[in-house]
Amino acid sequence: MIEDDFYATLKLKTGEEIFAKVAATDEEDRMMLLVTNPIVVEEIKFRGQSAGYKMEPWLKTTTDDMFILNMDDILTMTESSDFEMISMYQKYVRKAQSRDDDTNNHQVLDRDTGLLSNVHDAKELLEKLYKLKPPYQP
C-alpha cells in the first residue's frame, strides 16, 4: 500500500542529504520509500549577506526519476512544509523535464539562463557605460 506523496528532506547513512517528493510503501513486511526526482541542494553565499541555492540531481548518470530506498539506509527524514523550498524544487523539476523533452538536447538561452546579448552588443554597451574609446587602430 502506497501512502500519499509528501515533500521531504532525507539524510542518508552515507551522509548525503537529498530533497524529494516521497511516498512510503510496505513491500514484503519492509517499509520502503519511493523517491521522485531527488535533488541535492547546496547553499551558495555571495559577497555580503545574500545567499542562493544550487540544485543538482542526486544521481547524475541516470535519466530515471524514481528510486526506491530502504528505510534502513535512512538516518533521518523530515517532511517539508517550506513553501519556498517546494516551489524551487517544482521549478527545477519542470525545467529538467522540459530539457529532457527537447529532442535535440539544445538548451535555448534567454534572460533567465544568462544570455543578455551577443559579444558585439555587450562590447558597445560596456564602452558606453564606462565611456571608453575603442583602441587606437592605425
Whole-number pLDDT of residue 38: 95
Query: Is there a domain that residue 19 lies in?
Result: yes
Q: Is residue 128 part of a domain?
A: no
Does residue 86 lie in a domain region?
A: yes
What's the confidence (pLDDT) of residue 73? Answer: 92
**pLDDT value of residue 113:** 61
Angle at 125 between CA 113 and CA 48, to 5 degrees: 55
Within a domain: 129:
no
119 within a domain of the structure (yes/no): no
Is 113 within a domain?
A: no
Q: Mention every residue, 6+ apart, whose C-beta is less than 8 A from residue 126.
A: 132
Profile the chain (138 residues) by mean pLDDT over runs of 10 residues: 82 94 86 92 79 87 89 92 90 83 56 65 76 61
| pLDDT value at residue 103 | 46
- Total tally of structural domains belonging to the chain: 1
Q: What is the CATH number of the domain that holds 49?
A: 2.30.30.100
Query: Which structural domain range is residue 47 located in?
Result: 6-104
118, part of any domain: no
Enumerate residues 6+ apart whose C-beta is below 8 A from 102: none
Domain-located, residue 130 = no
50, 49, 16, 51: which is closest to 35 by C-alpha?
A: 16
Look-up of cell digits 534502513:
72
